[in-house]
Structure 1
Amino acid sequence: MDEFIRSEKQIRRKQAVRTMICMALLLLLSAVLYGCSKTEETGPAAAAAAGTGARRQADGYGVSEDKKLIIYTSHKEEVYGPIIREFEERTGIWVEVRDGGSTELLEAIGREAGQQTCDVMFGGGVESYEAYREYFEPYRCKLSDKLDDRYLSSDDSWTAFTELPIVFIYNNKLVSAETAPHSWKDFLDDEWRGKIAFAAPGKSGTSYTALATMIQVLDMDERELMEDFVTALDGKVSAGSGEVVDEVSTGIHLVGITLEETAKKRIAKGADITMIYPEEGTSTVPDGCALVKGAPHEANAKLFIDFTVSDDVQNLIMDQFCRRTVRKDLQMKTAGEEMKIMDFDLKWASAHQDEILALWSELIR
């Protein structure tokens, strides 16, 4: 009898295991079927509704090649997301996005030369575009006559998107308005040694523009200036331009060099920092947008470039993104700040970029 009972228990246990396995298989099958039904929803409308994360993951299933566009962008999602979603909705074109650092993406475009998958580079300072101009196809956007003459490419290899002044910032609790740096030369003083937030210019386009601006503004030997500045940093560099504001607002560093846009956004969100325009003047190098040479979806790429300087997008970047327009007919919206603009030599900054970055790497080590 005991042996029979043990046998019955074993049978029940086996049946229970079989039941659990069957239920697991049914759940797995349901999940697969549900996933398949969701996959069928890809395309312009679904990708826009799902957000940029879904857009990067989607594969454009069911979308014809004449309705596709591939964009490399160094903008944050909060900037490129609304613009791309609106472009998709208006045109019915499905956009695939790859985001990253501007240098990283430009290098990728260079490596892909002759076998391009990218159509448009969107974001990054135009001095970097100048350095990579051989990989871009000249295109004059339809609204070029409305763009500020200062921000026109000599050969139409890129189109300016927004104007980006470089500014100084300081922590309000730890630095007074009187002692805060107001001049580029102030950052070379021993007073600020180890207290400056600045991203590595080899990774941050903003920092390279700031360094090139400092070199052009100050009447000093280039190597001597960079040696003094690296000494002032005391070997400390921020992970990226976005971290500069974080480090100053939290007191990790007392002062920093960043973009006007970044500083204004953080101040609007409550960061306890103050923004200063350099007294000798600052650069307002624009970021840009460019048609990649050999782009597989060239017609759609041109439509997107036109869209970036349209009335709607340029008003959006002023109203919501704390950026300055490159449209001369809309310039009055960005008036009100005391800012002296220096005559930034874009061609010099582009031609000497490799040399300056090599010297920087030597000194920072």
Structure 2
Amino acid sequence: MLIFQRMQILCAALLLGVSSVLVGCGSARQAPTDDENLVVVYNCGAEDWTDPIAKEFQEETGIRVQLVDGTSDALMTRIRTEQENPRGDVLWGGVEDVYLSLTSYLASYDCPEEGALRSDYVGGDKAYYLITEDPYVLAYNTDLIDAEDAPTGWSDLFKSRFRGRIALADPTKSLVSYDVIMTMMDVLGGDNALISRMEDQLDGHMVSASAEQVKAVVSGAYAVTATAEQPVLRSRSAGAHIEVVYPREGTRVSATGVAIIKNAPHIENAKKFLDFVMSRRVHERLGVYERRSTRADVTAPPNLPTLAEIHSTRFDARHAAAFRDEFLSEWRAAVIK
């Protein structure tokens, strides 16, 4: 059995002052491009589901998987700065916004699993494929908030009792937080005034990253959050005193992706990895990780409500990308008031 390696040291400062990412073992800061039996995966997904899938691929194919973990922003910058000499082969995880912004850095590929996907889950002239669906939800700490006082919809976040108690990452740095606020705006009528209202409601308190939001609520540091469904369900299943709320006004469904990096040094291994990740047998097990498949031939996990039941529609990542500069301007103006 091959040894599955996870890289656990921080990358030295990336260009443009971005966050560090985790890279290869010891002094092997970059993947050895002369190793043909390797695929380097830039991974911005959660370890609870990416690790076992990567391990299974490695054991089945004999191709060594080198996972390079990092935030979406850090890995996006890494891909851009390595454009002339790519070190990674695959980008995995992260919301669709990430892939839209990187389309010119990704390789078009005809995945044999494409025909099994639901409509519009292949993007950028086959530059990326979407793997999972994840609706945005609310969540609250059941030790801090009684059920009768819990939020039931997006508009409840603006109640005075939640001011300064909402766990949200800075949306100028976190795409997930930005998408959550975009979802809220969309569902509540599209009024841009909600941008400054939300900034005021946070009362200057923000967590370091979107991945920390659920943890902040579970610890009791914050009372409520707005985030993707899966980390809330995962924490609740682990025994955390947290409850998920599907907003009464409806919500939007985000999607995570996978793509091959243009001029990848291990291109054939990258294709095999992408095919494996998109295969039916892998998608049929996504429910084990409380995730929803984008394949039309895979039913929703029985432990999750259907998307129709929670009054949801697909998140418009293209609109979000087009609106981002305007949003950032309005958010920053609200901050300095």
> Is 1:47 equivalent to 2:15 in the alignment?
no
TM-score (normalizing by structure 2): 0.86
Whole-angstrom CA distance in 2 between matches of 1:185 and 1:219: 11
Q: Please give the residue correspondences for 1:328-347 in structure 2 after superposition, counting only pairs within 5 Å.
A: 328-334=296-302, 336-337=304-305, 338-347=309-318
Q: Please give the residue correspondences for 1:277-292 in structure 2 after superposition, counting only pairs within 5 Å.
A: 277-292=246-261
Whole-angstrom CA distance in 2 between matches of 1:160 and 1:194: 35
- Name the counterpart of 2:184: 214
CA offset digits 1:181-227 (Å, max 9, x no partner): 222222223332111111122333321221121122222431x1110
Gap change, CA 1:72 and 1:361, over 3 Å in 2: farther
> Is 1:316 equivalent to 2:282 in the alignment?
no
Gap change, CA 1:68 and 1:51, over 3 Å in 2: closer
Structure 1 counterpart of 2:225, from 238, 256, 273: 256
State the 4+ residue runs in structure 1 displaced beyond 6 angstroms.
60-63
Q: For the Cα contact (< 8 Å) 2:31–2:87, is it kept in 1?
A: no
> Is 1:237 equivalent to 2:193 in the alignment?
no
Whole-angstrom CA distance in 2 between matches of 1:275 and 1:169: 5
Gap change, CA 1:244 and 1:63, over 3 Å in 2: closer
Gap change, CA 1:334 and 1:110, over 3 Å in 2: farther
Q: For the Cα contact (< 8 Å) 2:42–2:88, is it kept in 1?
A: yes
One-letter amino acid of the structure 1 residue matched with residue 87 of structure 2: T
- Name the counterpart of 1:364: 335
Q: For the Cα contact (< 8 Å) 2:44–2:93, is it kept in 1?
A: yes
Tell me the number of residue pairs that the alignment of Structure 1 and Structure 2 aligns.
318
Whole-angstrom CA distance in 2 between matches of 1:204 and 1:71: 21
Gap change, CA 1:247 and 1:307, over 3 Å in 2: same
What's the CA shift for 1:271?
Answer: 1.0
Q: Secondary structure at the match of 1:140?
A: coil
Q: For the Cα contact (< 8 Å) 2:122–2:130, is it kept in 1?
A: yes
Q: What 5-or-longer segments of structure 1 have no aligned partner?
A: 1-44
What's the CA shift for 1:302?
Answer: 1.1
CA offset digits 1:103-154 (Å, max 9, x no partner): 1101111111122111111110012211221111122311111112142325
> Is 1:113 equivalent to 2:83 in the alignment?
yes
Structure 2 counterpart of 1:152, from 105, 122, 126: 122
Structure 1 counterpart of 2:262, from 288, 293, 303: 293
One-letter amino acid of the structure 2 residue matched with residue 316 of structure 1: R
Deviates more, 1:146-155 or 1:190-199: 146-155
Max radius of gyration: which structure?
1
Q: Secondary structure at the match of 2:39?
A: strand
Structure 1 counterpart of 2:45, from 44, 68, 75: 75
Deviates more, 1:354-363 or 1:101-110: 354-363
- Name the counterpart of 1:271: 240
Whole-angstrom CA distance in 2 between matches of 1:318 and 1:227: 37
What's the CA shift for 1:62?
Answer: 9.9
- Name the counterpart of 1:173: 143
Comparing both structures, which one devotes a greater share of its residues to strand?
Answer: 2
Gap change, CA 1:127 and 1:334, over 3 Å in 2: farther
What's the CA shift for 1:63?
Answer: 9.4
Please tell me the root mean square deviation across aligned C-alpha atoms, in Å.
2.4
Whole-angstrom CA distance in 2 between matches of 1:62 and 1:260: 37
What's the CA shift for 1:360?
Answer: 2.8
One-letter amino acid of the structure 1 residue matched with residue 244 of structure 2: M
Q: Secondary structure at the match of 2:211?
A: helix
Comparing both structures, which one devotes a greater share of its residues to helix?
Answer: 1
Whole-angstrom CA distance in 2 between matches of 1:237 and 1:182: 22
CA offset digits 1:222-269 (Å, max 9, x no partner): 1x1110001011011111223222222232221111221101111111
- Name the counterpart of 2:18: none
Q: For the Cα contact (< 8 Å) 1:314–1:325, is it kept in 2?
A: yes
Q: For the Cα contact (< 8 Å) 1:324–1:334, is it kept in 2?
A: no
TM-score (normalizing by structure 1): 0.80
Whole-angstrom CA distance in 2 between matches of 1:95 and 1:184: 41
- Name the counterpart of 2:167: 197
Q: Please give the residue correspondences for 1:5-154 in structure 2 after superposition, counting only pairs within 5 Å.
A: 45-48=1-4, 53=8, 56-57=24-25, 65-153=35-123
Whole-angstrom CA distance in 1 between matches of 2:77 and 2:328: 15
Q: For the Cα contact (< 8 Å) 1:198–1:207, is it kept in 2?
A: yes
